[in-house]
Amino acid sequence: MEETNNVHEPIVHEAVISIINYLPDEIDTGADFSLRFQVRCKSECALDGGTIRVVDSDGAVVAETGVSAVEKSNEESSSGPGIIKYETETFSVKAPVVPGDYTWTAFYASPKKDDGEASAAPVSPGGPGDAVFEHTGSLEFSLKIRAHLISISIWDVPLPVSKGEKFTVGIGAACSSGCSLAGQALVIEDAETGKQLAEGRLGEEILDQTRATYWTRQELDAPSDEAVHRWTVRCQIPEGALPHQAEGPDLVFRTAAAPKYTVTVKVSDDRDFLPLEGADIQLGLHRTVTGKDGVAVLKVPEGEQELVIVKMNYITHQAAMNIHEDSSVDAALEFSPQL
């Protein structure tokens, strides 16, 4: 009698893989980032016990982690309560150290038997027959790896800057991956000509209420003309560090004649002559606001300049002034509510 072979070749089902955590559009070189995968079989087979293996563009294994069953609540799943999903835990991998575009691949493999071979299970456990199956699947996903960004910030720029005199600004720099920039050199250049104008160095301390902004107070020499100037601040890249590139606003300022005379401006309501606090005062290029007493004091250059006073719900006051000595101005603003 011919012997019957009851061993069936495994039936291969496709495992559909998807990334279910947020993957940034750009990732810093060498930075850690997270991955989490979900796997499903179109025939709704059980997939727990399998493995997700992540392979980089060169075919090297980056990570390997197991897949387990997760029961989703009604709030978590649109498929209804009690639905079983098959997912990995969230795990961390390290980005390539060279900027560029990469394609990585995630592979699913069925559980292994004790002998190391892929395990096969009944298609319908407990049902008739002894058909068995395996699952395989893959997912390619793209990564855009960028150099670390050094963000430059500039603050406390005088308005205007007195021509030909020294002035001081605050300069800060922070790496997008939190690299230390303590003591790194700064170079200030003319944005149009590229001529180096000054050198500085970041301090050793991080600016209060920031994650990793190293900063300094930088003294600079103002040009001797009266014009608008644009200077570029560059930060030296840490030696031996991963690739970095700097970005940030230029230092833009206007030079003007040095202040010579003091002008006191008192602002009130023209109905009752009570003082108006918080009125914006501009005299030539110089600006300030009134205090609780309705008074503002400005130090301005000699010559003809326009006075502008702005206060919400009041008509703007404008007047020409010829400044040749210390002086004072009383301005009663007409109430005009904005509906």
Nearest to 314 by CA among 266, 282, 270: 270
Residue where one domain finishes, among candidates 232, 256, 280: 256
pLDDT of 175 > 70? The answer is yes
pLDDT of 130 > 90? The answer is no
Residue where one domain finishes, among candidates 122, 146, 170: 146
- The pLDDT assigned to 132 comes to 61
Cα(147)–Cα(243) distance, integer angstroms: 5
**222-236 pLDDT tens trace:** 999 999 999 999 998
Q: Are strands 261-269 and 327-333 parallel, antiparallel or unpaired?
A: parallel
| Domain extent at residue 172 | 148-256
Cα(87)–Cα(108) distance, integer angstroms: 11
Q: Give the range among 38-42, 75-79, 271-275 with minimum mean pLDDT.
A: 75-79
The domain total for the chain is: 3
Residue where one domain finishes, among candidates 90, 111, 146: 146
Cα(298)–Cα(284) distance, integer angstroms: 10
β partners of residue 80: none
Q: How large is the C-alpha radius of gyration of the chain?
A: 35
pLDDT tier at 1, thresholds 50, 70, 90: very low
**43-64 pLDDT tens trace:** 888 888 899 999 999 999 999 9
**Residues 142 and 159 placed together within one structural domain of the fold:** no
pLDDT of 184 > 50? The answer is yes
pLDDT of 264 > 90? The answer is yes
**Residues 242 and 175 placed together within one structural domain of the fold:** yes
Share of the chain above pLDDT 90, in %: 73
- The pLDDT assigned to 218 comes to 97
Return the residue matching tokens 């790194």: 184
Give me the chain's average pLDDT, please: 88
Asked if residue 236 is part of any domain, the answer here is yes
Query: Which DSSP symbol is given to 147?
Result: P
Q: Is the peptide bond before 99 cis (omega within 30 degrees of 0)?
A: no
pLDDT of 77 > 70? The answer is no
HSE-up (13 A, CA, CB side) for residue 162: 11
Asked if residue 81 is part of any domain, the answer here is yes
**Residues 233 and 326 placed together within one structural domain of the fold:** no
Asked if residue 339 is part of any domain, the answer here is no
**Residues 108 and 130 placed together within one structural domain of the fold:** yes
